[in-house]
Amino acid sequence: MLWIPRIGAAAMAAALSLLPQPLHAQGSADDLASRFEHDSNPIHRAKLLPKLGDTEFAIVRKAVSDGDVSAAVQVLRKYRDQAQSCLDGLDAQKTDAEKHPGGFKELQFSLRETLRRLDNLMGSLTRDEQDQFSTLRKDLEEMDKHLIHELFPRGADGSEPAPKPQS
């Protein structure tokens, strides 16, 4: 006979709470988008973008699998605009991202993950379909490079960063 230890209901509930929550429990894309749009703090918005980006890219992937590439491009364009608004807001604060990376690093992580997913997705598309995504991919990559420079302004040799142009 197989021995199975008895676990109390509280211990079982605690163990189950550690498991990843399903996507619907984390909030729908509409709920996340609403929270994103109503929050005026660029750091909070940037910290929300990875979750929002995950849900939006799931929609992109589904639209592509359903053959609706134009809908997928629209959703990705919306993500690009959201990321750009976060970046603009963070830049406007004139915060040193190297010393205070909050918001900057979450935005960069989200962009990097979206670029990785987009590269994987584009590999399965025709050349004409890829062309519809290429401009958006370029925009996302430019934002990612900008954030990397903000977060790590010193060169690999430890040299001081070039002075920023005065606006």
The DSSP result for 6-21, as a single string, is: ---HHHHHHHHHTSPP
Rounded to the nearest 10°, the torsion over CA 38, 46, 80, 61 is -90
Q: Model's pTM, two decimal places?
A: 0.76
Of all residues in the chain, the percent with pLDDT exceeding 90 is: 68
Q: What is the pLDDT of residues 119-156, one digit of tens each?
A: 999 999 999 999 999 999 999 999 999 999 999 987 65
Model pLDDT, residue 76: 97
